[in-house]
Structure 1
Amino acid sequence: MKQPCLLFHGFTGGPYEVEPLARHLRERGQLCKVPELPWHGESYHQLKSSRWEDWVKAAEEHAETMTRDYGQFDMVGFSMGGLLAAYLSVRYPVRRLILLNTAVIYVSPGRMLEEMRNEWKYQRKISLNKAKSTPLSAAWQFTRLVRKLKPELSQVSIPTLIAQSERDHVIHPQSARYIYRKVRGQREIHWHPRSNHLICHSDDAAVLFRQVSAFLDKEYTDDGKNKYEP
């Protein structure tokens, strides 16, 4: 029987960011929970009044529910959700940790400008509109959460998959290398050359999903080392 899985979306995003991966996991028989979290981008006023501690508390409540209902579970975190997933993996019975474009070095200015130029060219002013609709106070809370939770990565000792888009305009690719150096358990890193920030919706998504399935199906010894060569 496959372990249930909890998936977290990113800052100002929503469940849609990781839903394609959740569908893939469900098709292989895995129960998936994809909650809408307090840092989603649908409510300006909710974002404006919330603090990073509220986000951590909400993440812990979902982990507590998974622990109570299922015991051990797998964890996927996208962007800012990746940092929270790593934080939870140290405190709850998480079996496998999957980090997608996780926010450690969270802005690549050159890539962001390139993406905004492309969106203006195609009259899809997504990044600019999103920036205008995100309260400055929420952006500040986001940076505080990154600073507070970044040290947690060195406490992660369970098997971890790190995936990073090479064309990410939000998270700098160096984030993946940083995470790979910091986590202490068995880990693997995968680069996706055709993907932008929304990796689960990218041209590399099918490859990513196969990598995730293979990672979840690997057998590990109790000390976290893989029994088999990758």
Structure 2
Amino acid sequence: MPVLPGAEPFRHEGGEVGVLLCHGFTGSPQSLRPWADHLAERGLTVSLPLLPGHGTRWQDMQLTGWQDWYAEVDRALCELLERCTQVFVFGLSMGGALALRLAAKHGDAVSGLVLVNPGNKVHGVAARALPVVRHFVPSTKGIASDIALEGSQEVGYDRVPLHAAHSLRTFFRIVDGELPQVTQPLMVLHSPQDHVVPPADSARILSRVSSTDVEEILLEQSYHVATLDHDAERIFEESYSFIGRLAPSLGKKGSTTGG
């Protein structure tokens, strides 16, 4: 099955500091590509993988689960760790949960986390019915393109596959239990107006991690896919400053070279 235009994975060979970017549930690398480009242009080594079952058609996602999505970002992280002296992990939505699990599992190998509207729970009455309903109803309406900026579109599925949603619910529970193992410096940027993930998810994450170096930033002008929204540039700049503070080898702006 061909990958949707714009949903292709992205890789950039830069300097000794690496960043892994994790996209969201039913989304694609397209939602994070401007962020990845921003970092690549500043000399960082960047990896933005396409998660299994994503970026083609929603039916393909029915055959995948959280173990597949996590295995892909884990593989990408290990590649960066072999190549770089320091590696940071950034994530949007479910990508935030993937980032948190990587941090919990890999410890000091992950130098820091930047999360944008991270997911922590599948909300609503329907979530409790998922274990049964998914066997009778294959999909429900999509969650892509929750963006305030007019004309900005996310490349993602227009349907949510319910087998995959059930797996996501399980994954969120696992990650929630692992949050106290997260000790790395952490920046959480979240939108008060988010129609996919409520602010309560960010609050829950912030209350349960063991990180002591924590920064919380509100994205007042954006909805869920804030990386393609009004606050995108702010996210890019804040995250680059975050890396600069924690990665001495990054040096001054422009001192590293990228291809």
The one-letter amino acid of 2:194's match is D
Q: SS of 2:50's equivalent?
A: coil
**1-side partners of 2:122 and 2:62: how far apart?**
20
CA distance in 2, matches of 1:33, 1:16: 13
Q: Runs of at least 4 residues of structure 1 off by over 3 A?
A: 105-109
Give structure 1 stretches of 5+ with no counterpart.
221-230
Matches for 1:95-110 after TM superposition, within 5 Å = 95-107=111-123
1:160 aligns with 2:176: no
Counterparts of 2:198 and 2:49 in 1: how far apart (Å)?
A: 26
Tell me, in whole angstroms, the C-alpha distance in 2 between the residues paired with 1:106 and 1:206. 28
Does the 8 Å CA contact 1:67/1:73 hold for their aligned counterparts? Answer: yes
Q: Per residue, is there more helix in 1 or in 2?
A: 1
Q: Which residue of 1 aligns with 2:170?
A: 144
- Is 1:198–2:225 an aligned residue pair? yes
| Letter in structure 1 aligned against 2:64 | S
CA contact (8 A) 1:101 1:197 kept: yes
| Structure 2 partner of 1:209 | 236
Number of residue pairs aligned between Structure 1 and Structure 2? 206
For residues 173-213 of structure 1, what are the alpha-carbon distances to aligned partners after superposition, in whole Å with 9 as ceiling and x for unaligned? 11111111112121111011111111111111122222112
Indicate conservation of the 8 Å contact 2:93/2:116, yes or no: yes
Instruction: Tell me which residue corresponds to 2:49.
Output: 35
Q: 2:35 — aligned with what?
A: 21
1:189: which partner in 2? 216
- The aligned amino acid for 2:182 is V
**Aligned equivalents of 1:157, 1:200: Cα separation in 2:** 25
Give distance in 2, aligned partners of 1:181 and 1:160. Answer: 12
The corresponding residue for 1:5 is 19
8 A contact 2:52–2:69 mirrored in 1: yes
- Structure 2 residue aligned with 1:223: none
The alpha-carbon deviation at position 44 of structure 1 amounts to 2.6
- Equivalent position SS for 1:211: helix
Unaligned 5+ segments in structure 2 are 1-14, 126-140, 248-259
Paired AA for residue 114 in structure 2: I
Task: Note if 1:83 corresponds to 2:97.
Answer: yes
The normalised TM-score by structure 2 is 0.72
> Are the equivalent residues in 1 in contact too, given 2:121–2:169 (CA < 8 A)?
no
Q: Which amino acid aligns with 1:143?
A: R
Deviation per residue, 1:3-44 (Å, 9 max, x gap): 111101001100011111111112222121111111424233
Which residue does 1:218 correspond to in 2?
245
